[in-house]
């Protein structure tokens, strides 16, 4: 497939939006200002991203590391790394705010919902791939989807609802609570 | 303490808001219309609830059952009931939407945040009280707060992020995954 003609302006818009989100957060991102700063027409932005929230999802997707899960041979260690990576993505207050805004906006707008779902699924998959590997190998036991819900769910719950810290210590404790007592010895 | 003079109009406002939320959902709730329907001045509503979201929190709190946890003598059964109750509260799409809107709004507004936190804590406590009882009695093992995060977190994660069903079957599977393999036999 040929490179789309507007790939360069898309990349410039994403870079500008990412910088503004980092500096001024969700409320500081104003689509018209992004267009002006990049030197494109507003319609160029809106043709590609119908709302500010669509643009935010693209910025977040663009910033996601590739979910190539580490395979150290120790599934509990790899799982702890994957959960810690999710925690460090979701911990900063501005990111909690972005996620809350996207959850609310996608509950209003089914078209945005499918975009946002892709982003959430990608983050879930980074943990799920390690869980599924462990369950297949017999180093973890239980229903993979439920294990992932317990891990990823606890992290989102803290990010969006309780507001508590999401640090490496929490990741370790959580993974130990979910898989440790049954399985950690088996892989030690 | 004397009953506040405006307790009756507060109750009428809450009843009207609850009816509208049930019929027309979050977007259908318009504070000015509620005031008109109850026959009070707009300022009467806004003096008590500074924003629509404050009013929504009060409606939800008002509708919460008292968190007097059942004590059947079987902690896993009681925990399953508590988790199932949370699931049935959060499952309906209009409720998912309310929770998402409140999470986003409270990330913007620290004053609203403290109101919303009280509501979330009440819902968490209904599960936590059963977990803590089981851990104290030795019928459940592990860190109470982490067990609650796994259970309540998975439920909110489905409600707000994945959009998956929250039914009695999910509650049972989740409780079994969190406490079952280690502890269910001990209490059977």
**Residue A69, domain member (yes or no):** yes
Give me the pLDDT at residue B181, please: 52
Q: What is the pLDDT of residues A17-45, one digit of tens each?
A: 999 988 888 889 999 999 999 999 999 99
The minimal CB distance from A157 to the residues B106, B153, B181 is found for B153
Instruction: Provide the mean pLDDT of chain A.
Output: 89
Give me the pLDDT at residue B183, please: 46
Q: What averages of pLDDT result for each successive group of 10 residues across chain B (188 residues)?
A: 68 94 88 95 94 93 73 91 94 92 91 93 94 94 96 98 96 93 44
Q: Which residue of A has its CA nearest to B181?
A: A182
Does the pLDDT value for residue A185 go beyond 50? no
**Residue A2, domain member (yes or no):** no
Q: Which of B60, B83, B104 is the last residue of a domain?
A: B60
**Closest chain A C-alpha to B47 CA, distance in angstroms:** 26
pLDDT tier, A64 (very low <50, low <70, confident <90, very high otherwise): confident
Question: Is this complex's ipTM strictly greater than 0.85?
Answer: yes
Give me the pLDDT at residue A4, please: 52
Please indicate whether, in this complex, the C-beta atoms of A149 and B157 are within 8 angstroms of each other.
yes
Determine contact, residues A62/A18, Cβ cutoff 8 Å: yes
Give me the pLDDT at residue B147, please: 97
pLDDT tier, A182 (very low <50, low <70, confident <90, very high otherwise): very low
List residues of B whose CB lies inside 8 A of any A CB.
27, 96-97, 100-101, 103-108, 113, 117, 120, 124, 141-143, 146-147, 149-158, 160-163, 173-174, 177-178, 181-182
Q: Which residue do the tokens 């979050």 mark?
A: B26
Query: For residues B28 and B133, what is the distance between their CA atoms, to the nearest angstrom?
Result: 41
C-alpha distances out from residue A143 to A84, A113, A147, B81, B183, Å: 21, 27, 6, 21, 17
The b-or-e profile of B122-134 (16+ CB within 10 A means b, else e) is ebbbbbbbbbbbb
Please indicate whether, in this complex, the C-beta atoms of B97 and A108 are within 8 angstroms of each other.
yes
> Same domain, yes or no, for B99 and B56?
no
Report the share of chain A in percent with pLDDT over 70.
90
Q: What is the pLDDT of residues A100-147, one digit of tens each?
A: 999 999 998 888 999 999 999 999 999 999 999 999 999 999 999 999
**Residue B127, domain member (yes or no):** yes
**Residue A90, domain member (yes or no):** yes
Q: Which residue of B has its CA nearest to A93?
A: B107
> Same domain, yes or no, for A92 and A178?
yes
- Number of inter-chain CB pairs under 8 A, A vs B: 111
Stretch A141-170: mean pLDDT, rounded? 97
Please indicate whether, in this complex, the C-beta atoms of A177 and B153 are within 8 angstroms of each other.
no
> Same domain, yes or no, for A68 and A26?
no
The b-or-e profile of A113-149 (16+ CB within 10 A means b, else e) is bebbeebbeebbbbbbbbbbbbbeeebbebebbbbbb
- A163 to chain B: which residues are within 8 Å by CB? 113, 117
Q: Which residue of A has its CA nearest to B101?
A: A104
Range(s) of the domain holding residue A20: 7-51
User: What is chain A's length?
Assistant: 188
**Residue A59, domain member (yes or no):** no
> Same domain, yes or no, for B173 and B130?
yes
Give me the pLDDT at residue B24, please: 87
The minimal CB distance from B158 to the residues A103, A106, A149 is found for A149
Pick the residue with more confidence: A181 or A151? A151
Please indicate whether, in this complex, the C-beta atoms of A96 and B107 are within 8 angstroms of each other.
yes
The minimal CB distance from B177 to the residues A104, A142, A156 is found for A142
**Residue B1, domain member (yes or no):** no
Q: Could you tell me which of B133, B126, B130, B131 has the C-alpha nearest to residue B67?
A: B126
Structurally, how many domains does chain A consist of? 2
> Same domain, yes or no, for A68 and A46?
no
> Same domain, yes or no, for B27 and B76?
no
Give me the pLDDT at residue A68, please: 65
Determine contact, residues A102/A53, Cβ cutoff 8 Å: yes
> Same domain, yes or no, for B24 and B105?
no
> Same domain, yes or no, for A27 and A103?
no
Q: Which of B60, B78, B100 is the last residue of a domain?
A: B60
List residues of A whose CB lies inside 8 A of any B CB.
27, 96-97, 100-101, 103-108, 113, 117, 120, 124, 141-143, 146-147, 149-158, 160-163, 173-174, 177-178, 181-182
> Same domain, yes or no, for B56 and B85?
no
**Residue A138, domain member (yes or no):** yes
**Closest chain A C-alpha to B4 CA, distance in angstroms:** 32
> Same domain, yes or no, for A72 and A40?
no
> Same domain, yes or no, for B87 and B179?
yes
- A57 to chain B: which residues are within 8 Å by CB? none
**Closest chain B C-alpha to A32 CA, distance in angstroms:** 22
Give me the pLDDT at residue B146, please: 97
> Same domain, yes or no, for A113 and A74?
yes
Determine contact, residues A149/B174, Cβ cutoff 8 Å: yes
Q: What is the pLDDT of residues B102-152, one digit of tens each?
A: 999 999 888 899 999 999 999 999 999 999 999 999 999 999 999 999 999
For residue B14, the domain's CATH number is 1.10.10.60
**Residue B20, domain member (yes or no):** yes
For residue B166, the domain's CATH number is 1.10.357.10
- A157 to chain B: which residues are within 8 Å by CB? 149, 152-153, 156-157
């Amino acid at each position: 497939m040929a490179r789309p003609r507007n790939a360069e302006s898309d990349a410039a818009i994403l870079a500008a939006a990412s910088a503004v989100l980092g500096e001024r957060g969700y409320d500081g991102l104003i689509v018209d200002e992004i267009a002006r700063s990049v030197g494109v027409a507003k319609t160029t932005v809106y043709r590609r991203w119908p709302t500010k929230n669509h643009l935010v999802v693209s910025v977040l997707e663009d910033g996601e590391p590739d979910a190539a899960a580490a395979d150290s041979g120790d599934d509990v260690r790899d799982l702890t790394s994957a959960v810690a990576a999710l925690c460090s993505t979701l911990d900063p207050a501005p990111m909690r705010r972005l996620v809350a805004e996207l959850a609310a906006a996608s509950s209003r707008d089914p078209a945005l919902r499918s975009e946002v779902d892709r982003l959430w699924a990608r983050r879930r998959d980074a943990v799920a791939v390690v869980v599924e590997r462990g369950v297949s190998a017999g180093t973890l036991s239980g229903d993979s989807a439920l294990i992932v819900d317990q891990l990823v769910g606890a992290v989102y719950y803290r990010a969006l609802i309780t507001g508590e810290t999401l640090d490496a210590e929490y990741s370790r404790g959580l993974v130990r609570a979910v898989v440790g007592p049954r399985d950690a010895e088996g892989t030690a």
